[in-house]
Amino acid sequence: MALSGIEIYKLLPQTNCKDCEFPTCLAFAMKLAAKQVELSACPHVSEESKARLAESAEPPVRLIEIKANGNSIQAGNEIALFRHEKTFYHKPGLFVRLRDDMESAALIGVVRAVDAYRVGYVGMDLTVDGFAVEACRGDKEAFAETVASVRQNTRRPLILMSRDAAMIAAGLRAIDGENPLLYAADETNWEAMTELAAEHKAPLAVVAPTLEGLADLTQKAKDKGVMDLVIDPAARDFSESLARATQIRRLAIKHNFRPLGFPLIAFPGECDDLVKEAMLAAQAIAKYAGFIVLDHFSAEAFYPLLALRENIYTDPQKPIQVQPGLYEFNNPTPESPVLVTTNFSITYFSVANEVESSGMPAWLVVADAEGMSVLTAWAAGKFDAERIAKDVKRFEVAGKVTRRRIVLPGQVAVLSGELEEELPDWEVKVGPREAVDLPAYMKQVLL
């Protein structure tokens, strides 16, 4: 169980030396209890205390990693029930299921299409994380061949799926030396599956329809030395999936219940409805899957899921930002206009895409607004005339242009008078309120 702040304090040296940059050991203990600092920040803890404190400092949801060929997907290490309490750390891995009864050319076609899929999203390159290969034919050789064929066509991490340990062993032989996630141990096969996981140092998924059953299986696996576990609560519809995932996360985070302190795996594709599959996957991203195995791949389903995942797994206190600076579009000249926006990624990319697609040369000052959008930054006092003028000078914009025209976002038209005072040599213009209207504005007003 997690130790309280006072219990942690009793295990610290109590010298108040401040080497951890806290004024007292008690202050450090309270932060450690709230999991807001690392134990390693105190260099003076005895080995004996360290052992007890390390256990207390361990995240309530264990970090599990599936690795392959330099690619890795991690899940777990979460400490919050709700994103706004702190942040969620490890995005759930999205996997596509393949079956060994698929026709070979079709299977390879899916692997190549999924492997090649990438989509740009606010400056990031989003991709699918890996594949789950399921044994359906009951033929070890066929399964091994399928696993080998998948591996020849992708370097991404794998999940091997069968309740038959001998089948999983055949799959493991086809990718010798790798540590895929093994799915799954249940109440009938757990001993053989646990032995296999221990032998190959592979993470192991356990499946049971009740929380007691899951806790029992993880405890048995841990007793056999397999600590890297993943939980399948065996719920497949909206309400049961949500209820069990929430109960497990709550027990792990709020009650530090170690037997359920592992990432979850979800199978939203075990229905015949593509829309339902996408919606179940979205639910699993939000609450609280670590690995999600979809049965169907299509760009129109994966793009929103990947974008949703990025949004949920960003730190709400640290908006996604781009580097403030002066950006060039369509080979600007000294005659080209200077536009202004903030360094919130979504704002930047909305503006950048429109300016680029307009085909008109322009300079874009991306002001340091601490990663906030235009109106939010203005309301918070982070995007005013003084700051804009400061960044115009910092980025030496005046040296790039001979015709000094600067365009404010329409939403902060109110700043135009003040900006004229701050930049007296410039002609201050007010642009459209929405980025989508920039190309027309640029053609009509700035030519």
Count of residues touching ligand SF4 (by CB under 6 A): 13
CA dihedral 32, 38, 43, 48 (to 10 degrees): 70
Cα 259 from Cα 195, distance rounded (Å) = 19
End-to-end CA distance of the chain: 68
**Peptide linkage before 192 cis (omega within 30 of 0):** no
CB of 12 to ligand SF4, least distance (A): 5
**Which part of the chain contacts ligand SF4 (CB under 6 A), choosing from 17-25, 162-170, 268-276, 372-380?**
17-25
Q: How far is CA 432 from CA 339, 360, 411, in A?
A: 11, 16, 8
Over the window 23 to 42, marking each residue x when it contacts ligand SF4 by CB under 6 A and - when it does not, the resulting string is: --x--x-------------x
* Helices 165-174 + 140-153 axis angle, to 10: 40
Q: Binding to ligand SF4 by residue 348, rule CB under 6 A?
A: no
Phi, psi of 417 (to 5 degrees): -60, -45
CB of 24 to ligand SF4, least distance (A): 6
CB of 47 to ligand SF4, least distance (A): 14
Q: Which of 3, 8, 11, 20 binds ligand SF4 (CB under 6 A)?
A: 20
Dihedral sign for Cα atoms in the order 145, 147, 148, 152: positive
Cα 416 from Cα 381, distance rounded (Å) = 15
Tokens of 211: 């929380």
Supply the DSSP string of 375-417, one letter for each residue.
HHHHHTTSS-HHHHHHHHHHTT-TTT-SS-EEEE-GGGGGGHH
- Please state, as a whole number, how many other Cβ atoms lie within 10 Å of the Cβ of residue 72: 14
CB of 32 to ligand SF4, least distance (A): 8
Q: Binding to ligand SF4 by residue 49, rule CB under 6 A?
A: no
Cα 21 from Cα 12, distance rounded (Å) = 15
Q: Binding to ligand SF4 by residue 15, rule CB under 6 A?
A: yes
CB of 77 to ligand SF4, least distance (A): 23
**Which part of the chain contacts ligand SF4 (CB under 6 A), choosing from 13-21, 59-67, 126-134, 335-343?**
13-21
Q: Binding to ligand SF4 by residue 22, rule CB under 6 A?
A: yes
Q: Which is nearer to ligand SF4, 44 or 112 (CB)?
A: 44
Cα 432 from Cα 413, distance rounded (Å) = 9
Q: Binding to ligand SF4 by residue 10, rule CB under 6 A?
A: no
CB of 237 to ligand SF4, least distance (A): 48
CB of 206 to ligand SF4, least distance (A): 38
**Which part of the chain contacts ligand SF4 (CB under 6 A), choosing from 15-23, 61-69, 350-358, 434-442?**
15-23
Q: Which is nearer to ligand SF4, 10 or 254 (CB)?
A: 10
Strand intervals (E) in 275-404 = 289-294, 325-329, 338-342, 362-367
Q: Which is nearer to ligand SF4, 32 or 253 (CB)?
A: 32
Q: Binding to ligand SF4 by residue 53, rule CB under 6 A?
A: no
CB of 13 to ligand SF4, least distance (A): 4
Q: Which is nearer to ligand SF4, 10 or 443 (CB)?
A: 10
Tokens of 73: 């997907």
**What residues make contact with ligand SF4 under the rule CB under 6 A?**
12-13, 15-20, 22, 25, 28, 42, 44
